[in-house]
Structure 1
Amino acid sequence: MATTQHPSVVFIPGAWHLPEGFDGVREVLSARGYQTDAVWLPSVGAEVPKNLSDDTAAARHIIEQRVEEGKQVVVVAHSYGGLVGSGAVRDLGYVSRKVAGKQGGVIMLIYMAAFVATKGSAVLDLLGGSPPPWMDFTDNNYIHLSNAPNAATILYNDLSPSEQEKRIAKWAPMSKAAFLEPVSHEPWLELPCMYLIAENDQALPLAAQEAMASMLGTNPSYRCAGSHFPYLDLPEKVADAVELGAQQGLKRC
């Protein structure tokens, strides 16, 4: 159970993935005294295609619940979820809410091997205008991984083949509309943000991560020798990054 001395943590997954993937790191953080939530993105597996705005609203709903409870909140956004988190924290920064006489607020947004996008940019723009070969864009409404070559080895290069198979079984189609809608908010202008760099990431190159980390101001980045999914192969390290983010955020309160 959480204690009042720790911020609440909200995890936002990336494309094709469900919130249960965070179970391991959530267990680690729970043992350290943190309350955690994980968002289910409407664009993942939806029968009627959803977009970035739908995902942002879903994440914001959970974040706002914790904020309205008076909690200090750390948001951790993975991969595509970086765009979701960017919009979901709009006007929820702890310091600005405190000035307005309100309790609770977001004290840190952590981009975990995630896209940091300036206003007007969509995921497809960040991919250079065309998807990599391990993403199957042939469906009119959805982006698939199951028919794409080497997707599992690229995404989970630090997991064993048997663990990769477990993750493949949980893949869900991703709404194409979510990759085409531009982000409309730059949260680093409003509240503290930091980057968790996964050094062995084969999906989002290290140089790209470092370039995006440099956009976030003076907050220190956290580095780990993880794949694109460090929360699966290195949950303890990700928990350490969350704690660092919480400490840095609390210094600004």
Structure 2
Amino acid sequence: MSQELPTVLFFAGAFADPSCFDTFSKLLQTAGYPTAYAYVPSLNPSDPTAVSSSQDAQVTSENYLLPLLNQGKDVVIFAHSYGGIVGGAAAAGLSKASRAAAGMPGGVIGLIYCVGNIVGEGESLLQAVGGAYPPFIQENQPSKGLAVISPVIQTLYGEGAVSPETIPELEAAMTPHSLKAFETPQTAPAWAESAFDGRRAYIRTIDDQCNPLFIQDIWIEKTAVKWKTVDVKSGHCPFITQPEELAEIAVTLIKSWT
């Protein structure tokens, strides 16, 4: 019997339902990798003040990651943008090595950050970007405590990167996100653990207008741990604009860990 391939658990960026990964996810499924989505409470909550970054990590760990691990599955975290903060904390203490040492099944075998936001323990995203929101973050829109990105296409994809007929759908997918999630500190991240040495990858998006390349490099450097970096000439969302290329990268990385 062939060994089951690891499950890829997706953590979406802010302002996005995980269905944004649908095309990319199907490509990984075709390659034999089961996939699953993690959903965060801070995406368009009824009460934007009742959520936090650490709550996102706790909820996604308990509701989406641990159920997979307790079934004995190996998991790869694929985290985009804000999902890097949530996914990193959600996976803390849950490496394959740590769980095996405790006599528990399954475990996280690797971390793939696709232009993932990186914060240290006790740090917020707002602090990580310098303490001020960039101009494309429209605060208290469409109501107090929420935010959206505008302009959507230029910020997330880049001019000419998507076909004109898809623009209305991509703009309509912009979902309000709680500002408090960006302003509250996160718990200890998995990437800081030695169990992930040789099992951390960062996909840099070269033409990114949302998280420019220089800030991606600052985040990577400040971790003081080693990442395998792979470059994609794309804007902020290569799983939308270049899903086939991204799938090839992800499969190559996962194979190196299995």
TM-score if structure 1 supplies the norm length?
Answer: 0.90
Q: Which amino acid aligns with 2:56?
A: D
What percentage of aligned pairs have identical amino acids? 29
Which of 121, 124, 149 is equivalent to 2:123? 121
Match of 1:142 in 2: 146
Q: Which amino acid aligns with 2:145?
A: N
Match of 2:157 in 1: 156
Match of 2:54 in 1: 53
8 Å contact 1:193–1:216 — kept in the other structure? no
Match of 2:172 in 1: 169
CA–CA distance in 1 between the matches of 2:26 and 2:112?
A: 19
Match of 1:204 in 2: 211
CA–CA distance in 2 between the matches of 1:241 and 1:95?
A: 24
Q: Which runs of 5+ in 2 are unaligned?
A: none
CA–CA distance in 2 between the matches of 1:82 and 1:218?
A: 16
8 Å contact 1:76–1:110 — kept in the other structure? yes
Q: Which amino acid aligns with 1:51?
A: S
Q: Which amino acid aligns with 2:157?
A: Y
Match of 1:14 in 2: 13
Match of 2:75 in 1: 73
8 Å contact 1:194–1:220 — kept in the other structure? yes
SS in 1 for 2:36: strand
8 Å contact 2:54–2:187 — kept in the other structure? no
* Alpha-carbon distance, 1:216 to partner: 6.4
8 Å contact 1:219–1:248 — kept in the other structure? no
Q: CA RMSD, aligned part only? A: 1.7
When residues 240 and 186 of structure 1 are mapped into structure 2, their CA distance, relative to the original with a 3 A threshold, is same
8 Å contact 1:213–1:221 — kept in the other structure? no
* Alpha-carbon distance, 1:195 to partner: 0.5
Q: Which amino acid aligns with 1:205?
A: P
The yes-or-no answer on 1:181 pairing with 2:181 is no
CA–CA distance in 2 between the matches of 1:161 and 1:58?
A: 37
TM-score if structure 2 supplies the norm length?
Answer: 0.88
SS in 2 for 1:221: strand
Q: Which amino acid aligns with 1:180?
A: E
* Alpha-carbon distance, 1:163 to partner: 2.2
Q: Which amino acid aligns with 1:62?
A: Y
CA–CA distance in 1 between the matches of 2:203 and 2:18?
A: 19
CA–CA distance in 1 between the matches of 2:224 and 2:4?
A: 26
Match of 2:201 in 1: 194
CA–CA distance in 2 between the matches of 1:249 and 1:116?
A: 22
8 Å contact 1:18–1:41 — kept in the other structure? no
Q: Which amino acid aligns with 1:201?
A: D
* Alpha-carbon distance, 1:197 to partner: 0.9
8 Å contact 1:14–1:78 — kept in the other structure? yes
* Alpha-carbon distance, 1:212 to partner: 2.5
